[in-house]
Amino acid sequence: KAGVTQTPRYLIKTRGQQVTLSCSPISGHRSVSWYQQTPGQGLQFLFEYFSETQRNKGNFPGRFSGRQFSNSRSEMNVSTLELGDSALYLCASSSAGGYTAKNIQYFGAGTRLSVL
Amino acid sequence: GQNIDQPTEMTATEGAIVQINCTYQTSGFNGLFWYQQHAGEAPTFLSYNVLDGLEEKGRFSSFLSRSKGYSYLLLKELQMKDSASYLCAVRDPGGYQKVTFGIGTKLQVIP
């Protein structure tokens, strides 16, 4: 079974630009979550999508948005990039069973975004 | 919300045992995870606790006390490849997959 695939692996952008990151979850997984990882803040939750609907959202500005397609693939968009957006962006998928289920998240290798 | 505390760095000797602690303050709780992350790689799942007690899996064990808001990850027979960051994470009861991570404990295993 293929793992979580994120593309591209590396991106360099300049301030003010926008960027779109892609995530293909493990086959059969319907939940996709996005995280931002920086050395000072660790992993911070951005949002979670399930069945094409945003189910949870972290404390990030509206410049960060996402969507999920009918095949569970997800994209994340960041508009008007700032220097502070430089980070590793990780996507995680899970089978998202019932509320009390373990629902382990499996992570992709991430997209490293550098904003100049 | 969730607040998770864990030590930033630890050093241990190959072959030894190390315990990485995690404390959390939450308005609710629906499970605690431990993940391992090698430098430049994706986090990988190690353990999950939702009830009090010890979960053992090979060289790795994880303990949870919900009343104390406390967990630890125990690594036995340390190997050089165990040098990595260990992330403690708590799932929010209000959402299926809203998970708050601690900043991670960077473990260095020395010969």
Q: What is the pLDDT of residues A83-115, one digit of tens each?
A: 999 999 999 999 865 555 667 899 999 999 999
pLDDT of residue B94: 66
Max intra-chain CA distance, chain A? 43
pLDDT of residue A54: 92
Cβ–Cβ gap A102/B31 under 8 Å: yes
Task: Give every CB contact of residue B58 below 8 A, 6+ residues apart in sequence.
Answer: none
For chain A positions 83-112, those within 8 Å of chain B (CB to CB) are 90, 94, 96, 99-100, 102-110
Q: What is the pLDDT of residues A57-70, one digit of tens each?
A: 899 999 999 999 99
pLDDT of residue A25: 96
Residues of chain A contacting residue B42, judged by C-beta atoms under 8 Å apart: 4, 90, 107-110
pLDDT of residue A100: 54
pLDDT of residue A103: 78
pLDDT of residue A98: 54
Identify the three-state secondary structure at position A106.
strand
Cβ–Cβ gap B96/A103 under 8 Å: yes
For chain A positions 59-88, those within 8 Å of chain B (CB to CB) are none
Tell the burial category of A53 from Cβ atoms under 10 Å away from its Cβ (0-12, 13-18, 19+): exposed
Mutate to test the interface with B, among A10, A41, A91, A107 (most CBs of B within 10 A): A107
Cross-strand pairs, A6 = A23
**CA-wise closest residue to B75 among B103, B47, B33:** B47
Which stretches of chain B score pLDDT less than 50?
none
- Mean pLDDT of all residues in A66-82: 96
Q: What is the pLDDT of residues A21-53, one digit of tens each?
A: 999 999 999 999 999 999 888 899 999 999 899
pLDDT of residue B47: 93
Task: Determine which helix (DSSP H) or strand (DSSP E) holds B10, and give its type and residue range.
Answer: strand B9-13
pLDDT of residue B27: 75
- pLDDT category of residue A17 using cuts at 50, 70 and 90: very high
Which of A1-5, A13-17, B95-99 shows the highest mean pLDDT? Answer: A13-17
pLDDT of residue B93: 76
